[in-house]
Structure 1
Amino acid sequence: AARVALGALAEALIDQVAGIRLVSHVVAVGAQRATSQAVPTPADEEALCAASMRTLDPADNARFEAAVDDAKHAGDTIGGVVEVIAYDVPVGLGTHVSARERLDARLAGALMSIQSVKGVEIGDGFAQAALLGSAAHDEIVRGEDGHLTRTSNHAGGIEGGTSNGAPIVARAGFKPISTVPRALRSVDLATGEEAVGLHQRSDTCQVVPGAVIAEAEVALVLADALFDHAGGRSVGEMRRNLAAYLHAVGERA
């Protein structure tokens, strides 16, 4: 709850200073993956909140619900994958100099800090490992407006530890909740004898609230990175600092 509350403040700050907007959604529950190619935007937030499984596509929502129901009826739990997308992120947030301060490293650390998260991807993530370099990287071209742009976003908006101006795409994989109703084998530490795990009340699946928590963590990281580039004592001062920085970047492009 504390992370989400702080994340809400961070989201408001990065929106007011830089126009950065975030959205999160569920892309997989267990073995069921989203089939819709529709990518949500911040304008879809109301629709996502209205969906029981925080996904835009009704068919995907129904399949995700069924997967959770099946696990519940089997006395089991189930995990899944959530995705957070950050739109209109200024170019250059993060650094290529310090390994710990790379934007992707900071995002990965923040997402991995969420309880039950066991894996993080930025952009195409692990899928890139199966591709050749010619297919995995984003080509740079000069757009119709004369500015440099890319033909794809396999990198997920981060290259060389810094934001490249494309939407930042991060995913987090949640393991199934460990308090399984169908108690698992364990050992009584007092006696050393075999025992079964104590089942406490728990949800069957945590990915829907997990998406909201992941969004909050991304907001906190981006707010911190924004302070590094445009820190100030007020929103107005940060806006002026950011505008000066972006003007200098634009002159080089």
Structure 2
Amino acid sequence: MLRYLNAGESHGEGLIGIIEGLPANLFIDIDYINSELKRRQRGYGRGKRMEIERDSINILSGVRGGFTIGSPLTLYIENKDYKNWYKKMSIMDEITENIITKPRPGHGDLAGVIKYAQKDIRNILERASARETAMRVAIGAIAKLILKEFNIDICSHVTEIGGIEDKGHYSISEILNINSSLRIIDKKIEGKVIDKIDECKEKGDTLGGAFKIFAINLPIGLGSHSHWDRKLDGKLAQGLMSLQGIKVVEIGEGMNISKKLGSQVHDEIFYDNGYYRTTNNAGGIEAGISNGENIILKGYMKPIPSLKIPLKSIDMDTKKEYLAHKERADVCAVSSASIVGESILSWIIAEELIIKFGGDSIQEMKNNYTKYIKYIKKR
């Protein structure tokens, strides 16, 4: 069983991740993990926090000589901005100043302080912050290293920001080789979006958007139809919905196929030295099981709710109307969300590979996988 736990606050000392269930003898490429962290930090419209943090991974356990040894793997990312916040974020000293009592619309501030009986909204917003996704990307990078052993690729691109859509249909090669600060393939669309981001930045407003994620070269048979909580599409939808700001998840042609006839939707099956489809409206999943086609997910992200010109709110102490508390934030983070989405998809696929092919070492997993692929070719 593969699982992880992450911890840490946005302006705390750092972020921690612990992974349990990794097979032994998996090479841990530090440079690759750091390159994934850099991908998350890029993107036109990101805030000043990205100028402060230069995320890099430290491995504290579970690896020796560059390879996993079968024990829990511990990761650490330092928050460089902590030096400016250590008094506000003291672990043991009583916090009596800068108490936040004006919840921000669109955040978990109000619900969180009520649920956990807190007086200071900072106790909620620090953990609810998307800063947490830095560790999720590091964990996802390790999952990608597992997938590379099975020649499985994960990629993504942005399809819309602020209502400006890129409706192009692109090859996997084009998606894997994107050269764009916004992860938008069409350069004309990218230019329009940059203008819109600049306009919103001037006004103190924010933008949302949408992105697609792909898993390529998957075998038939990941996931299961037999239990609700083992359905692959259910796991992927929950995983992507756990990403801050995501309000809709679409699998395959999702919303479009709900408007069509069944004869126009379902992907016909053919055989030529193996099963294949000429369409992929299902997005690579049928009855909760991967069907051998590329998995395609689409995530829709709301505009960032931290605004430079804050919305109306209430002071929870006085119950008087005030403008909401302001926090430093991005104008647009859709491109970064697509990278985190890749990590979420990678983790779930890696988990399914371990469930399906087992093994205490990566070699044992690959042997089981090879036998299974031979079995598929005989069916």
- In the alignment, what sits opposite 1:232? 359
Contact 2:157 2:175 (C-alpha < 8 Å) held by counterparts: no
Tell me if structure 2 keeps the 8 A contact 1:27–1:33: yes
Query: In the alignment, is the contact (CA less than 8 A) between 2:313 and 2:323 conserved in 1?
Result: yes
**Max Rg structure:** 2
Deviation at 1:98, TM superposition (A): 1.0
Q: Is the 8 A contact 1:78 1:205 kept in 2?
A: yes
The answer (yes or no) to whether the contact 2:240–2:299 under 8 Å persists in 1 is yes
Contact 1:35 1:60 in 2 (8 A): no
Q: 1:117 aligns with which of 242, 246, 269?
A: 246
Does residue 37 in structure 1 map to residue 169 in structure 2?
yes
For 1:123 and 1:35, locate their aligned partners in 2 and report how far apart those are by CA, in whole Å: 15
1:129, distance to aligned residue in structure 2 (A): 1.1
Tell me whether 1:5 sits opposite 2:138 in the alignment: yes
Shift of 1:182: 1.9
Q: Is the 8 A contact 1:40 1:56 kept in 2?
A: no
8 A Cα contact 2:212 2:338, kept in partner:
yes
1:147-174 superposed Cα distances (whole Å, 9 cap, x missing partner): 2211200000111101111111011111
User: Among residues 157, 165, 169, which one is paired with 2:284 in the alignment?
Assistant: 157
1:56, distance to aligned residue in structure 2 (A): 2.1
1:63 aligned partner: 192
Deviations 1:167-221 (A, max 9, x none): 1101111111111122111111111111111222110011111111000000000
Alignment of 1:159-174 (within 5 A): 159-174=286-301
Stretches of structure 1 that go unaligned for 5 or more consecutive residues are none
Give the TM-score normalised by the residue count of structure 1: 0.93
The correspondence for 1:178, drawn from 305, 308, 318, is 305
Alignment partner of 1:152: what SS?
coil
Aligned partners of 1:133, 1:63: CA distance in 2, in Å?
Answer: 37
Instruction: Between the two structures, name the one with larger relative contact order (CA 8 Å, sep ≥ 6).
Output: 1
Question: By how many angstroms is 1:21 displaced?
Answer: 0.5
Query: Is 1:220–2:369 an aligned residue pair?
Result: no
CA–CA distance in structure 1, aligned partners of residues 339 and 214 of structure 2: 12
Q: 1:58 Cα shift?
A: 1.0
CA-CA distance at 1:75 after TM superposition: 1.8
| RMSD, aligned α-carbons | 1.4
Question: Is 1:90 aligned to residue 219 of structure 2?
Answer: yes
Identify the residue that residue 128 of structure 2 maps to in structure 1. none
Give the Cα separation in 2 of the matches to 1:146 and 1:241. 21
- Match for 1:26: what amino acid? V
Once the two structures are TM-superposed, the CA of residue 124 in structure 1 deviates from its matched residue by 0.6
CA offset at residue 15 of structure 1?
A: 1.5
Secondary structure of the equivalent of 1:100? helix
**1:14 pairs with 2:113:** no
Count the aligned residue pairs. 246
Identify which of 206, 212, 215 aligns with 2:333: 206
* Paired amino acid for 1:15: K
Q: Which moved more, 1:113-122 or 1:29-38?
A: 29-38
Q: Which has the higher helix share?
A: 1
CA distance in 2, matches of 1:150, 1:40: 17
Deviation, 1:44, is 4.8
TM-score normalised per structure 2 = 0.63
C-alpha separation between the residues in 1 aligned to 2:363 and 2:343? Answer: 23
Identical aligned pairs, as a percentage? Answer: 35
Distance 2:197 2:175 in 1: 24
